[in-house]
Structure 1
Amino acid sequence: MNHKGLTAVNSGNWPSSLMNRRGRTLLITGAAAVVLFVITTIGISMPETAYDVNFSLRNQSPSMAHIFGTDFMGRDMLARTVKGLSISILIGALAAGVSSVIALVLGCAAALLGEKTDMVVGMAVNMMTGIPHILLLILISFVCGKGMHGVVIAVALTHWPNFTRIVRAEVMQLRTAPYVRISRKMGRSNWWIARKHLLPHLLPQFFVGTLLLFPHAILHEAGITFLGFGLPLQMPAVGVILTEAMKYLSVGCWWLAFFPGFALLLIVLLFETLGENLRLLLQPTRAHE
């Protein structure tokens, strides 16, 4: 390659350089969102007949007819995995949303309602973070009767502390802004200031924080279900699938655990990627052209 060719490459004429960092971030974010949407839509609309029992096909290894193989009852593992992932995503969405709202309310209250409120919220955060996470999840789920509602309540009530600290720190900075001080001098209430001045600034961080809670919510839902304190065995959840698979790993049915576990890991990584890239897009100082 001659000097002109090197100059062309270095000056950005290479095909991969046609897309700047923001463009690549948008592309990755869009691709992750599309994949998650497709999996969720397919799983929700999937009929139970897609993974009917067929004992003549039990414990078949992966093939063209059954890409993920079949389980001990002859059910198609690909269909069960997609269905289970859609259940995990829906539970994660609900739990992460509730947890983020709790964090937003407590974070704003701690920063705006005085030292006593700040101290109470701080004590609650320290208490929640001081208890082993999985133990707290199991206890809350068990007390709430396990099942779908038990899992959602357990995950929602255990994932707000760290996000609360972030919201509180952000509000502490915003409340010293000139427009907030002017509003206070004009006699505006804390509720008015929070609604008019703080929420518009917090919404992008709230949205990104909710997305970043998704991976934790999904993994913890699968974890407590795997331990027997989550979703019922009748549901094709990933935690249930992995629990059933443990009985057959010793006889060589590796696909029963490998594909659902790997798919769950990919979903978690997709949500992590989506959240991190949206954070870059919504924070211009970190999303350079």
Structure 2
Amino acid sequence: MIRGFGAKKPLQPLLGLNGRQRALIVAALAALFVAAVELGGLLMSDEPISTHLELRNLAPSAGHLFGTDWLGRDMFTRTVKGLALSIRVGLTAAACSVVIAALLGFAAATLGRTADKIVSWLIDLFLSVPHLVTLILISFVFGGGLKGVVIGIAFTHWPSLARVIRAELLQLKSADYIQVSRRLGKSRLWIASRHMLPHILPQLLVGMLLLFPHAILHEAAITFLGLGLSPHQPAVGIILSESMRYLSTGMWWLAVFPGLSLLVTVRAFDRIGENLRGLLDPHRSHD
């Protein structure tokens, strides 16, 4: 009578989907949302975000879904364009971080103990300092703006992934087929490119997707502090920074909708990464 009490299996027939199918659907929906935001930012006209003083300080309505600001600019258009810019910045920086992590992971695993010790020391060094502090310093050194933010994020978000790649490659070195290739006289570069790189490509892809939420949030944070993107660019951090002075006047929509949109976008990328990791990992895919 009580067999199966508390079990989650009866829910699965109701849904009609297994774990892999649900993960694939969720990842596809999240990717579709992100693509729609990016496409909307590219296709939307700049006219709604130009100055219209006769429309200033309007609350959210059917004509202006997110309201308007103190200059009459449509906040929905500003938010979508800001999210599209943040997505481009986050993806570029995350991709650069993945390249750095892969290069250092390969160096640690294939160039001997000295290289391994140097890479391990660099990983521990960067992990011991808060990301935001290092990011601000690197961004300032490279002149700030879009270039400084991308370089700063790229040089501060690689350590955790590099540690994972290093451990994976060190374990892979003891595999039989790699030992056979080494005895046959194959070079380290040949082994790394033909055997090791294809093995860790899924981890690199998932790592980039999981790095993106951190990248976009840190970009918004330093832009909010005035140390990131230019005020002339429609970044979400700039929108939130400018809205702070108007919250006391009751214009809550200037911060609430852009902030929630940023969180939804970050969560969408996080879901893509988590579900993709579940699809690529045979042990997690049956959970």
TM bucket normalised to smaller? over 0.9
**Partner of residue 261, structure 2:** 263
Picking from 222, 225, 232, the partner of 1:234 is: 232
Picking from 146, 149, 158, the partner of 2:147 is: 149
Q: State how far apart, in whole Å, the 2-side matches of 1:191 and 1:14 are.
A: 47
Q: State how far apart, in whole Å, the 1-side matches of 2:229 and 2:57 are.
A: 24
**Partner of residue 163, structure 1:** 161
**Partner of residue 40, structure 1:** 38
RMSD: 1.6
2:49–2:74: 8 Å Cα contact kept in structure 1?
yes
Point out where structure 2 has 5 or more consecutive residues left out of the alignment.
2-7
| % identity of equivalent residues | 51
Q: State how far apart, in whole Å, the 1-side matches of 2:275 and 2:20 are.
A: 9
Which consecutive segments of 4 or more residues in structure 1 shift more than 4 A? 10-15
Aligned positions of 1:13-92 closer than 5 A: 16-92=14-90
Q: State how far apart, in whole Å, the 2-side matches of 1:130 and 1:192 are.
A: 34
Q: What is the TM-score of this pair, normalised by structure 2? A: 0.95
Offset of residue 125 of structure 1: 1.0
- Higher mean alpha-carbon deviation, 131-140 vs 11-20, is at 11-20
- Higher mean alpha-carbon deviation, 11-20 vs 142-151, is at 11-20
Q: State how far apart, in whole Å, the 2-side matches of 1:279 and 1:50 are.
A: 40
Picking from 246, 249, 266, the partner of 1:248 is: 246
Q: State how far apart, in whole Å, the 1-side matches of 2:151 and 2:51 are.
A: 32
Does 2:137 correspond to 1:139? yes
Q: State how far apart, in whole Å, the 2-side matches of 1:288 and 1:92 are.
A: 31
Point out where structure 1 has 5 or more consecutive residues left out of the alignment.
4-9
**Partner of residue 214, structure 1:** 212
Q: What is the TM-score of this pair, normalised by structure 1? A: 0.94
Offset of residue 11 of structure 1: 8.8
1:12–1:18: 8 Å Cα contact kept in structure 2?
no
Amino acid at match of 1:100: V
1:111–1:118: 8 Å Cα contact kept in structure 2?
yes
Q: State how far apart, in whole Å, the 2-side matches of 1:49 and 1:11 are.
A: 53
Amino acid at match of 1:134: L
Q: State how far apart, in whole Å, the 2-side matches of 1:76 and 1:113 are.
A: 55
Would you say how many aligned residue pairs link Structure 1 and Structure 2? Answer: 281
Q: State how far apart, in whole Å, the 2-side matches of 1:198 and 1:110 are.
A: 13
